[in-house]
Amino acid sequence: MTAERHEEIRRMLSAWLDGELTQVEEQRVRVHLEDCAECRRACEDMARLQEMTRSLRFAGPGEDRMKEIEKSLMVQAPRRLGWLFLVGGLAAWLVYAAVMAARHWRPPTVEELIAGAVVIGFVMLLVSVLMERVRQLRYDRYRRIQK
Amino acid sequence: MSVSQAGQAGSFNEFFHRTNRRAYVFALHLSGNREDAMDILQEAYLRMHRRWSECEGEAKAVAWLYTIVRNLALDHLRRRARRAEAEIQESILSSSADGPERAAAREELSRRLWDAIRKLPAEQREILLLRDWHGLNYSEIAQVLGLSLGTVSSRIHHAREKIREAMEDYLR
């Protein structure tokens, strides 16, 4: 057996252990291992080390902090729904108000002007938050990650 | 159950419970700091949660999670001067199921092995742990790290050869 062939098989040992070779490559490695004691030993060592690495135990995260994360995730769903209702409701209300104003036009009362100012202020704040979110999304490094 | 298997059917909540411990360890290995690891974990799951509905089946969810954790950890590292190795060392545990002598021997072996893994170049250490400890397959690792399958295979092989050399005395 040539040294090149031996080296080639040697490089395939890890992938063989991980079940990542094609059927043909697997067969080649298997045949080689039957004849080569050195590679057999290397393979056994790697398998043992792999098992040892797998059984390494690391301390997990603190339970309290994990519960905190879980809670923060739980509020996400209602928050999204809340935004949907808020934006949808506001848009519908503005359209309705515009249609009514066009149909029955008359000078607004002081109360209506004050209420209008509050609504305009609220809408502007909402738009600024939405614009900020859209701006962040443009620079979000993770949005193109394949899911 | 390996992390790869975790991304099967189920809700986000189940996915969170099945994967958070391993994702935390991954974040800790990258950032070297427990507080940073927790921050990374929180941010990663929040980002996933926002776009969970876009996830085409959960099979790729684990690779997606690890990619986000990795990118966030790299951002943290850029802001920090260096990794805090001591906190990772402290987090290695021995098995409580063993007797005292056996537990001590196992702990010693674990520490030796961890020392050998720690001394690997960063790109080999990361890939070895993703394969052998986190249980990701080569294509998931390639996706997380943005590498070709050939590079993944080659790095894992070189990492294992180096560990084998470093642990020679313990293997005989």
pTM (2 decimals)? 0.71
* Token digits of residue A106: 């008359």
Task: Summarize pLDDT for B39-95 with one digit per residue, the tens.
Answer: 899 889 988 888 887 777 666 889 999 999 999 998 888 777 555 555 666 666 655
Residues of B in contact with A68 (CB under 8 A): 42
Does residue A27 register a pLDDT over 90? Answer: yes
Q: How far is CA B72 from the centre of its chain?
A: 14
Give A129's pLDDT tier (boundaries 50, 70, 90): confident
Characterize B30-59 residue by residue with b for buried, 16 or more Cβ atoms within 10 angstroms of its Cβ, and e for exposed: bbbbbebbbbbbbbbbebbbeebeebeebe
Residues of B in contact with A18 (CB under 8 A): 131, 137-138, 156
Q: Which of residues 39-68 of A touch B (CB under 8 A)?
A: 42, 45-46, 48-50, 52-62, 65-66, 68
pLDDT at B147: 94
Report whether A73 contacts B16 (CB < 8 A): yes
Cβ within 8 Å of residue B48, ≥6 positions away: B12, B55, B61, B64, B65, B68
Q: Which helix (H) or strand (E) segment is B150 a member of?
A: helix B149-166
* CB contact A147 to B (< 8 Å): yes
- Exposure of B168 by Cβ count < 10 A (0-12 exposed, 13-18 middle, 19+ buried)? exposed
**Cα–Cα distance for residue pair B91/B94, rounded to 1 Å:** 10
Give chain B's end-to-end CA distance (angstroms, integer).
Answer: 30
Report whether B138 contacts A20 (CB < 8 A): yes
Complex confidence, ipTM: 0.76
* Token digits of residue A107: 């000078």
pLDDT at A25: 92
| HSE of B1, CA atoms in CB hemisphere, 13 A | 11
List, as one string, the DSSP characters of B57-98: SSTTHHHHHHHHHHHHHHHHHHHSSS--HHHHHHTEE--TTS
Over chain A, what is the mean pLDDT? 84
pLDDT at A138: 63
Task: Summarize pLDDT for B30-44 with one digit per residue, the tens.
Answer: 888 888 899 899 889
Mutate to test the interface with B, among A25, A46, A54, A58 (most CBs of B within 10 A): A58
Task: Summarize pLDDT for A46-98 with one digit per residue, the tens.
Answer: 999 999 998 888 877 878 888 888 888 877 767 777 888 888 998 898 899 88
pLDDT at B83: 56
- Amino acid (one-letter) located at B38: M
Percent of chain B's residues with pLDDT above 90:
42
**Cα–Cα distance for residue pair B154/B124, rounded to 1 Å:** 10
Q: Measuring CA to CA, how many Å separate B149 from each of A46, B63, B145, B153? A: 20, 15, 10, 6
- pLDDT, average across residues B108-119: 89
**Cα–Cα distance for residue pair B28/B18, rounded to 1 Å:** 17
Give A105's pLDDT tier (boundaries 50, 70, 90): confident
Cβ within 8 Å of residue A67, ≥6 positions away: none
Cβ-defined contact of B49 to A73 (cutoff 8 Å): yes
Cβ-defined contact of B46 to A50 (cutoff 8 Å): no
